[in-house]
Each structure stands twice: as C-alpha cells, then as structure tokens.
Structure 1
C-alpha cells in the first residue's frame, strides 16, 4: 500500500510569518527545505511539535503546532492525540510531556538541551531541605528534573507560582530551585520562602543599571516587562513582571509603542511578528540550551525517531502527581 503524500503549504505561505525578520533569499537557502521535510515527517509519523516561546522564529513560526510558556505546554500536553511528541525546548519540558503521556513516544532533538535551574538542584538536596524544615510543603518550579519533582508536593511555573503558593494556606514554603522566583513571590505574598541558590543563567545577567540606561535612551515611551526569574531589584525596575504568556497578555491589553522584554532574546523576535505596531528593544541575552534546538536536528530527530525521552520508573508516578496537582489549580 502506497502512503498518501501530504499537501504542503506553498513556500509563500510558509515564509510569510517570518517575512519581517529575514530576507526571502536567506530563508530559502537556510530553512525552507528543512521546514518542508519536517512538515512531511510530522504527517508520516503522526507527530506533533511543541515549541517554547524562546525558540527561534523559523521553528516557532515554521514547524511548531503548539506554542507557549511552560504552563501552556504542560496544559496542552494533557490533550495530545498524536502518538509522537517532539519537544522544541529543553529537557525538563520533554520530561514533563512524558510524565503526562507515558504511553507516547516523546522526542527531544538534542538531549544536551538542559537548564541551569534544573541542573542546580538534586533529589538529595530536596530531602535535606525537608529535614531542615520539617512539615513545610515543597513547591518546585517546573524547571527541574523528574527526580526532583518526585520529591515535591506540588509544581509551579512562573505563570502560576503565586497561585500555587497561596493555595497551600501556610505561612512558609520551601520553594525551589529558583532563588529569584522564590524571592519575588515572597515579596508579592508575604509568605516566607526557604529557597535554594540556583538561578537562570539568562535572567540573572540583567541588572537595574542596564534597565535605567534603556529608559534614559527611550524616555517615557518604553514599557519594561521583566520575567520573574530576574533578581527582585530588576523586577522592581519594571512596569510589569510575569511569565512569557503574561508578557503577551500585557502587550495585547496595553498596546505599547515600545517594549523592552527582560527575558530571552528570541521572545522579542517571535512577538514582533504578532504585534507589528510595537517596537521591540532587544537586550539580546540568549539561552544556550534553547539554541541547541535547530530545524536540522528537529528533522533528524523525526527521521531517526531519536532521542527518545524516558523517566525512571520510581520517579514517573510521584513526579506526575506533583505536576497534576499544579494543573488541577
């Protein structure tokens, strides 16, 4: 039996979403063949591609089926019908998808696409914190390994961290591994945080003097939006702080003329196509782990069905419960 070929969109249609970001000649030379091959491979393998907001535009707009922040991707992962899921993101995100879809094949194009936060804490560290603060619940940021999630009461993302913490109804919380996110939530809620000394290697580089310099350059027209993985003193300089989904909502609701996003650089590239009337000032801090994901290794991953993400049996159920408790909120 001959398998039917999939009807691909025209190259004009494929190029249109990134036309304001790159020349047609460059797109044709660098990306077009891989995009068409990936679209055909998705059809062949009954595959879906999830892409984080920090992916480059040719991935985000070219081949992704589901786009969003960590919370949105986790929510959508519960409803996936396809048998193969490819995560265009970092390893902990692929693990989260696997927890919620243990029967599906979950792929990551580069298994070395990690995260400084996930690598900054171990399951043994969590047990040490519990012993140090007996009876205090543990809230773990999704930027963590399955082994750490398995030691956790409930997970959170930057988009729902405050809601998760407040839902516990307690005066103190162990919140790990992101020191800055914990401090920012402590400032918002007044709930005491016992935290850990891990930080995002992208967001920790931003400083208040840098933001003030941008304000002097752009005067009153500049809206500064910071990610809560930034230091509290950086968040204090911003007009708004929130997850990447919250950043999008802020722009949709406020229609700013000019925006400075204090987060990973590709976010500005992707949003500039969604909000053409807003000028994005780009302080270009790139995540080296996100940038390990490329069109070429997405294509190779679907061609070879590698690298498949697995979770140790002893971590699967307790880690999934911590994620599901978060999603239930």
Structure 2
C-alpha cells in the first residue's frame, strides 16, 4: 500500500498534477487527494488550479465539468465507467423537448447532468447553492428545474417558487426516503440529524415534520454543509442521511464524535469504482482523459460560470 501511495505522490509532482476527490470516495482516495469536497467545492478548485493535470476521483459528469471549466488542463478520470444514475435520468433531447413545452422558461440544471444537458441550460446549481441561484432569478420567470425531484421540491419549498420539476432521482438518496425515522430517533434520541436535500425524506421532513417527530435537531445540508456544521457543533452524536463515504471525512475532522448512517446500504457503487490502483494507472499513463467538445463546452460554460458566481 505504501509503495503505490509513494508512486502516486511521485507522479503527481513529476506531472504537476492535482487530485480532486468527492466526499463519497473510498477512504484511501480521500486520504491521498489534494482536495476533498462536494461538487461545488471541487468545481471551484478545478477553476483555480495551476496544475497541468487534474485527476478527478468522482463520477463522469464531475470530470466533464472540470474539463469545461479548465479547457487548457488535461482532465483524467481513473475509471471511465464511473457514471451517475441521476445524470442518466435526462438527456439533451429530452430537455430540448421540455423547453419547447415551456417557451421562455429559465432552465436550472443540477450539476449532476451531462455536458450536453448543461449546454441547454441557463444555470447550473449544486445542493450547496441551489436556493441562492433560484432566488437570484426574477420572480416573474418560470423555472424548469432538473433532474432531481427531491432537491427541486426542497428548493421550491424554501424559496416559495412555483417550478416545473423533472422526475429524476439519485438511486442512493431515493432509497433513504424509505427509512423509518421514528426508529432512527428512538435509537439516537440525542443525535443531530443531517440530511442531504437529494434524499427522498428531505421534503417530507421539512414540510410534514409532525408525521415523523420534532424536527428541532434535523438539518438539511449539502455534503459540505454537513462538514461545516459538524465542525461548529457541540453535539457528539450525528445521524447522517447521505452516501456513507462522507463518514470517513467527518471522523477525521472530529474523531471524538460518533457518526451513524441512516442506512448502511446508502452506498453509491459508481463512487466506489475508483481505487488507488486505478488512480495510479491513470496518472502513470495519463489515460481516460475527459475532454468535452469545444462547441458543447462553450455553451455549457455559461451556466457553470453563473453557478460559480453565486456562492
């Protein structure tokens, strides 16, 4: 293990490379990365890096976003099969048809989409800034929000905006909606509950909290929002409703606290596809480059730049 870590670090220096890892990556990848974060944070790092090579340890749409933001960099993904169930719920043709049904509407696309979908959008958002982006759009404008219906319902509820919402979902977060929170509350009565807005339970908890329990200890956050909350919280017990990969980072930040996933089965198999061996091979041979065609990249850069300007 130490040998491959040493080789990755050597290659990184030799090639002037930076390793970006999402919060859902396996612990070994998070530990060797230069930056670990959510989609927004990693996009910001990709935009400002001085590295010649960006190795994106995440899923394919994230590497595409880095390629769009930094067209002069070589962007690598250690496993090109690392896709996203949410991103696959809509393609550019479907979006174009939807736009024709709602002429003049503003298209707000979650960053969990393909480059082609971004190119047909007006704004991109992440779970960190979706509310702020929607609030920045004139109230008289109709909004088409895609593809995650749970994040869309959450944003609509917080902002009070009447939005058309695409019927997509992350297969991991959607399953969390089936969790019995009464049971979780009984097991951890003193815990803070941190819930990702992509979860099937997020809107129900926020709008119909009395169906579950007193929501005073429930907080809806992006993954980076969870990180920041734990840093500042005095609590010593947290129940986490998102992909379990984030627990590794939380434990590193505040090891004296206890962390419990709402479900041990909240695992994204795509996020777990990248290993140290694949990272090493990708960096060694500079293989699996992700390069968005310039015509698409130019159009997609507009909504991404708007996203990055609203934080």
Bin of the TM-score, shorter chain as denominator length: over 0.9
**How many pairs align?**
297
Counterpart in the other structure of 2:236? 257
Q: Is the 8 A contact 1:57 1:266 kept in 2?
A: yes
CA offset digits 1:200-241 (Å, max 9, x no partner): 11100113652221111122x111110000122255566100
Q: Is the 8 A contact 1:56 1:270 kept in 2?
A: no
SS of match in other structure, 2:243: coil
| Larger-gyration structure (1/2) | 1
**Does 1:132 find its partner at 2:101?**
yes
Q: Is the 8 A contact 2:231 2:253 kept in 1?
A: no
**Does 1:227 find its partner at 2:196?**
yes
Q: TM-score, normalised by structure 2?
A: 0.92
SS of match in other structure, 1:310: coil
C-alpha change, 1:79 and 1:113, in structure 2 (3 Å) is same
Q: Structure 1: 5+ residue runs without aligned partners?
A: 1-30
Counterpart in the other structure of 1:294? 275
Q: How does 1:157-306 map to 2 (within 5 A)?
A: 157-171=126-140, 172-207=142-177, 209-219=179-189, 221-231=190-200, 232-234=203-205, 236=209, 239-282=218-261, 283-284=263-264, 285-306=266-287
For 2:277 and 2:249, locate their aligned partners in 1 and report how far apart those are by CA, in whole Å: 19
Q: Is the 8 A contact 1:207 1:234 kept in 2?
A: no
For 2:279 and 2:151, locate their aligned partners in 1 and report how far apart those are by CA, in whole Å: 31
Greater relative CO, 1 or 2 (CA 8 Å, sep 6+) = 2
Instruction: After the TM superposition, list the runs of 4 or more consecutive aligned residues in structure 1 that deviate by more than 3 angstroms.
Output: 234-238
SS of match in other structure, 2:229: helix
**Does 1:94 find its partner at 2:63?**
yes
Q: Is the 8 A contact 1:137 1:174 kept in 2?
A: yes
Q: TM-score, normalised by structure 1?
A: 0.87
For 1:193 and 1:309, locate their aligned partners in 2 and report how far apart those are by CA, in whole Å: 33
RMSD: 1.3
2:75 maps to which of 80, 87, 106 = 106
Counterpart in the other structure of 1:73? 42
C-alpha change, 1:50 and 1:209, in structure 2 (3 Å) is closer
Counterpart in the other structure of 2:294? 313
For 2:58 and 2:155, locate their aligned partners in 1 and report how far apart those are by CA, in whole Å: 25
For 1:64 and 1:204, locate their aligned partners in 2 and report how far apart those are by CA, in whole Å: 28
SS of match in other structure, 1:318: helix
For 1:105 and 1:313, locate their aligned partners in 2 and report how far apart those are by CA, in whole Å: 14
SS of match in other structure, 1:78: helix
Moved more, 98-107 or 227-236: 227-236
